[in-house]
């Protein structure tokens, strides 16, 4: 019933994903959510995220930030990581995910999306036919609408983990 909401993989953090292995397996494009996936909500890129993006570029990945945020927020984070961006993406609409593949020159089959929310990030990627890796959110202090969605996510994740 929930299969389109299930991530393909779940990780404790975007910083522990085995990126080298992914590249060896043919993944060439990475699409990221920003807030609570890479940094706390509204924060600029920090040393950890800058180091991660430097590492990913050296491995050979193309990278796009896909955010429902406005240009200013995305530009603030991107100032120090310097990758492709799509703002006001309208996630979970699949168009932004597919546009990211187009920008990076990748396909649905060799691209992975990484985010912290089921009902925007994971569902949108899965609708676009792109693998979705979900990570545990960084900070539980969020806007009320996200807190309410997190409670619904718990039920989906409960079923997901039961099947793993």
Nearest residue to 111 (alpha-carbon basis) of 92, 123, 126: 126
Say whether pLDDT at 159 is over 90.
no
- DSSP labels, 33-45: --BTTTBSTTPPP
User: In whole angstroms, what is the distance from residue 134 CA to residue 117 CA?
Assistant: 7
Tokens coding 72: 């200013």
Q: Residue 29 in contact with residue 104, Cβ under 8 Å?
A: yes
Query: Looking at domain 3-163, which CATH architecture does it have?
Result: 3-Layer(aba) Sandwich (3.40)
- Per-residue pLDDT, 153: 77
pLDDT tens, position by position, 124-151: 999 999 999 999 988 766 565 666 666 6
Question: CA angle, corner 150, sides to 141 and 8, nearest 5?
Answer: 120
pLDDT range class, residue 162, cuts 50, 70, 90: confident
In this prediction, residues 101-129 reach a mean pLDDT of 97
Report the percent of the chain where pLDDT is more than 70: 91
- Per-residue pLDDT, 145: 62
Q: Where are the domains of the chain?
A: 3-163
User: In whole angstroms, what is the distance from residue 128 CA to residue 29 CA?
Assistant: 14
pLDDT tens, position by position, 65-106: 999 999 999 999 999 999 999 999 999 999 999 999 999 999
Cα atoms in the Cβ-side hemisphere of radius 13 Å centred on 61 = 29
- Per-residue pLDDT, 144: 55
**pTM for the whole structure:** 0.90
Lowest mean pLDDT among 9-23, 49-63, 147-161: 147-161
């Amino acid at each position: 019933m929930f299969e389109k909401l299930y991530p393909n993989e779940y990780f404790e953090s975007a910083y522990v994903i085995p990126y080298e292995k992914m590249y060896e397996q043919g993944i060439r494009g990475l699409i990221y959510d920003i807030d609570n996936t890479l940094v706390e909500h509204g924060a600029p890129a920090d040393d950890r995220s800058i180091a991660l993006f430097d590492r990913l570029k050296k491995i050979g990945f193309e990278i796009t930030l896909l955010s429902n945020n406005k240009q200013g927020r995305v530009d603030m984070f991107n100032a120090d990581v310097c990758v492709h961006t799509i703002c006001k993406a309208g996630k979970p609409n699949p168009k932004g995910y597919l546009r990211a593949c187009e920008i990076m020159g990748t396909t649905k089959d060799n691209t992975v999306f990484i985010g912290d929310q089921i009902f925007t990030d994971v569902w949108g990627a899965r609708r676009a036919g792109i693998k979705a890796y979900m990570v545990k959110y960084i900070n539980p202090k969020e806007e009320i609408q996200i807190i309410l969605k997190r409670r619904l996510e718990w039920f989906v994740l409960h079923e997901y983990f039961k099947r793993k």
